Structure 1
């Protein structure tokens, strides 16, 4: 029974880690501004996912898509190739985003797209596509509609006081957005609306962060040990999350992502070699937490924070991250800790094998993110 349970647990963890690979999909971000009668729209999007017609409402990681191979092939191509392909398909893409004034649809015109020349392994490449539209002379508000299967869309208004910031899903539309501003979030709206953004980055999207938290869990089921580690990790990533979001600290993804993977290797290996919480473990976890915070900050860079409610939204995001981490620990405890944590064979048959698998996955990600 123990052997069967262990095999099932390892298989579940392997699948949970995205079969060791991860190409996370971030939401599309729409920034718009009106000058005179011209509306300028800039979309930060995953052009490869759009070109392969992945259903972004159903898939949060490209490896889970039936079109994963086609997506990976595009991701391996240089940026200019993606720009050319997207420009060719731009008319089809414009069927998925619509601009309205009153009840009348206003045509959008594609201008250009910029795609990084190379992608970062494990991270979806973000392109910036630009569009314009000429508004009617008496337009005082606009609204946007977003196509089915296009995933979440973050909409941000610029160039006015108290600008609009909102989120819609594929198949949804915004209400009228005033062109003179005055539709910004209240502090409570900013706080509450960013809690699910932080939670979502842990569950289900934060595979590397999930494995790190599981690594903390599998060291010891003693609550004192777990509390020290989680406190150190939380304190650290809170600091760099805030500094990164404010723009004071910024490390490129090709540096941060491999080190985050290395932190997963460390906690997995130390779990096996140690007999419990060492005196240096909380300090090492704190250092790795600083880097994980920069990873969280990059997510906020993708979403953006409402200018008028920056602090409430930042706090809401951090609360969401913490709720996600606590949920991971709670699930792990209910699945293995509650039933088997006091068994004499728990460490040999569950904790150590799970830690070894965590370290193996982390090592693969280090290699993938540095060399592949």
Structure 2
């Protein structure tokens, strides 16, 4: 049996296994807040996973709750009904409230619980989004309000309500604060500014945050001996992930991250092995890259979907994010070429550079397959 046949059968088996696996990962998603600032009070209605806050999980350190030291506590809380979970929230509130950052003129304001809406217990393998409304009284004066979450609470997406499509929407790392939100005027953000912000977000999702996508693009780079075929493959990858990014981000296609993420890692393993064994052709690799690009687009969409973008401005965000992703991929290729691309035509390039690099890529991808399915 040829190496090509063996590898294809292994990859097909992995696809079948991942397809039937349950959505086991307890995914961590950003906290979305609808913000209302009045003359004497600020209110935030947050869509949040209460169990992670009550358990004390540091969301800046883990990608899903299964990897947290408090995973057992989280799982017990996840099985609680709405009434006991709300009781646990109120008991832990003196600790939790310190993670909600509400500042006026440099003064920190303590938030209080206004209301809690907790869904009934559902699929225990999926996160449960609750609605937590908190508020704080503002001191006298006209100083604006800045809002944020402590680093351990993870990513924060504040959206000012009641201001139409141009209302401010942030995407903040834990610990960061919004610009000052006026008590009398709405903080707005034009379409152009939003477009540029999402170009930056797309680029950042590749460089430096998208290590899996970086390794895949490097796998394409180390297969090539000329820039022409490489650009064709990158083009095929771009067209493919643009299709699924648009379909998944608009809700037409939905695939759980617990399936998508291991399969993305499997594509990295495949390109690394194919580079090492040398059984692929340029045409075959280009077609395969298109198929793999469809899968990577689903991964991009899961990130874009976390932003909670207003429907009226979604197209600006989608196009900007996709352009940012392309800039990120081109940056990876340019950096790789500047380091070793000058030697592509040398007889020793494949054995001395391309194969060792591809083996490293395949090994990292294999570890991610295990980590994303078993650990």
Q: Would the TM-score normalized by the shorter structure come out above 0.5?
A: yes
Q: Does 1:361 align with 2:361?
A: no
Corresponding residue SS for 2:45:
strand
Match of residue 322, structure 2, among 306, 318, 321: 318
Aligned match of 1:73: 69
Q: Does 1:133 align with 2:135?
A: yes
Give yes or no for contact 2:199–2:322 (8 Å, CA) kept in 1.
yes
Displacement after TM superposition at 1:202 (Å): 1.1
Q: Does 1:237 align with 2:241?
A: yes
- C-alpha distance in 2, partners of 1:33/1:49? 20
Displacement after TM superposition at 1:291 (Å): 1.1
Q: Does 1:246 align with 2:250?
A: yes
Q: Does 1:296 align with 2:317?
A: no
- C-alpha distance in 1, partners of 2:110/2:65? 36
Corresponding residue SS for 1:32:
strand
Aligned match of 2:9: none
Displacement after TM superposition at 1:336 (Å): 2.3
- Number of paired residues? 336
Bigger mean CA deviation after superposition, 268-277 or 70-79:
70-79
Displacement after TM superposition at 1:70 (Å): 11
- C-alpha distance in 2, partners of 1:157/1:217? 44
Change (3 A) 1:364 1:46: farther
Deviation string 1:148-195 (CA, Å, 9 cap, x unpaired) is 645653212345523331244555433454689854431201111112
- C-alpha distance in 2, partners of 1:179/1:290? 45
- C-alpha distance in 1, partners of 2:199/2:368? 28
Q: Does 1:274 align with 2:270?
A: no
Change (3 A) 1:347 1:165: same
Aligned match of 2:145: 143
Change (3 A) 1:187 1:355: same
Bigger mean CA deviation after superposition, 207-216 or 164-173:
164-173
Give yes or no for contact 2:57–2:68 (8 Å, CA) kept in 1.
no
Change (3 A) 1:276 1:303: same
- C-alpha distance in 2, partners of 1:42/1:203? 29
Change (3 A) 1:172 1:369: closer
Deviation string 1:245-280 (CA, Å, 9 cap, x unpaired) is 111111111211121111112211111233664322
Corresponding residue SS for 1:165:
coil
Q: Which runs of 5+ in 1 are unaligned?
A: 1-22
TM-score (norm 1): 0.74
TM-score (norm 2): 0.73
Bigger mean CA deviation after superposition, 292-301 or 68-77:
68-77
Q: Does 1:165 align with 2:161?
A: no
Q: Which runs of 5+ in 2 are unaligned?
A: 1-24
Change (3 A) 1:231 1:180: farther
Aligned match of 1:263: 267
Q: Does 1:203 align with 2:207?
A: yes
- C-alpha distance in 2, partners of 1:256/1:43? 24
Corresponding residue SS for 1:155:
strand
Aligned match of 1:107: 111
Displacement after TM superposition at 1:46 (Å): 9.7
Deviation string 1:269-315 (CA, Å, 9 cap, x unpaired) is 11123366432221111111111111111001112224332111111
Give yes or no for contact 1:27–1:153 (8 Å, CA) kept in 2.
no
- C-alpha distance in 2, partners of 1:34/1:308? 20
| Structure 1 vs Structure 2 CA RMSD | 4.1
Displacement after TM superposition at 1:141 (Å): 10
- C-alpha distance in 1, partners of 2:273/2:136? 59
Give yes or no for contact 2:255–2:298 (8 Å, CA) kept in 1.
yes
- C-alpha distance in 2, partners of 1:77/1:104? 30
Give yes or no for contact 1:28–1:45 (8 Å, CA) kept in 2.
no
Give yes or no for contact 1:149–1:170 (8 Å, CA) kept in 2.
yes
